[in-house]
Amino acid sequence: MSNSFFIKKHSVLTFFTITFAISWGGILIVIGSGGFLGTIQISEVLMPFLYMTTLLGPSVAGILLTGLVHGREGFRTLLSRLLIWRVGAYWYVLALFTAPFLLMVTLFVLMLTSSAFIPGIFTSNEKESLLISGIVAGIMVGIFEEIGWTGFVVPQMRQQYSIIKTGLIVGFMWGLWHLPLFMESARASDELPPVLYLSVLLFSFLPVFRVLMVWVYDRTKSLLVAMLMHTSLTASILIIPPQVIVPVKIVIYNLVFAATLWLIVSAVVIANRGKFSR
What per-residue confidence (pLDDT) applies to 263? 96
What distance in Å separates the CA atoms of residue 56 and residue 54, rounded to the nearest whole number? 5
Question: Could you report the per-residue pLDDT of 246-258, keeping only the tens digit for each?
Answer: 889 999 999 999 9
Q: For residue 273, give the DSSP letter.
A: T
CA 61 to chain centre: 16
Q: Return the SS3 of 169.
A: helix
CA 223 to chain centre: 14
What distance in Å separates the CA atoms of residue 228 and residue 142, rounded to the nearest whole number? 7
Question: Could you report the per-residue pLDDT of 37-68, keeping only the tens digit for each?
Answer: 888 888 888 888 999 999 999 999 999 999 99
Task: Note the maximum CA span of the chain.
Answer: 61
pLDDT at 1 over 60: no
- How large a percentage of the chain has pLDDT more than 90? 79
Q: From the CB of residue 106, how many other CB atoms can be counted at a distance below 10 Å?
A: 25
What distance in Å separates the CA atoms of residue 7 and residue 105, rounded to the nearest whole number? 44
Confidence tier at 5 by pLDDT (50, 70, 90): confident
pLDDT at 75 over 90: yes
What distance in Å separates the CA atoms of residue 112 and residue 24, rounded to the nearest whole number? 40
What distance in Å separates the CA atoms of residue 218 and residue 91, rounded to the nearest whole number? 11
What per-residue confidence (pLDDT) applies to 2? 65
26 contact partners, CB below 8 Å, separation of at least 6: 53, 54, 56, 57
What distance in Å separates the CA atoms of residue 107 and residue 62, rounded to the nearest whole number? 35
Confidence tier at 20 by pLDDT (50, 70, 90): very high
- Cα dihedral sign for 83, 88, 94, 96? positive
What per-residue confidence (pLDDT) applies to 67? 96
Q: For residue 150, give the DSSP letter.
A: I
Span 107-119, average pLDDT? 93
- Cα dihedral sign for 127, 132, 135, 136? negative
What distance in Å separates the CA atoms of residue 69 and residue 74, rounded to the nearest whole number? 8
Question: For residue 262, which of 65, 106, 116 has the smallest C-alpha distance?
Answer: 106
| Mean pLDDT over each residue of the chain, to the nearest integer | 93
Q: How far is CA 121 from CA 29, 81, 117, 136, 235, in A?
A: 35, 34, 11, 16, 12
Question: Could you report the per-residue pLDDT of 120-154, keeping only the tens digit for each?
Answer: 999 888 999 999 999 999 999 999 999 999 999 99
- Cα dihedral sign for 176, 179, 181, 187? positive
Question: For residue 230, which of 89, 96, 74 has the smallest C-alpha distance?
Answer: 96
Give φ, ψ of 95 to 5 degrees: -65, -40
pLDDT at 273 over 80: no
Question: Could you report the per-residue pLDDT of 170-192, keeping only the tens digit for each?
Answer: 999 999 999 999 998 888 777 88
Q: Return the SS3 of 38.
A: coil
pLDDT at 169 over 90: yes
Span 164-173, average pLDDT? 97
What per-residue confidence (pLDDT) applies to 262? 97
Task: Supply the pTM of this predicted model.
Answer: 0.95
The letter for the amino acid at 54 is T
Confidence tier at 278 by pLDDT (50, 70, 90): low
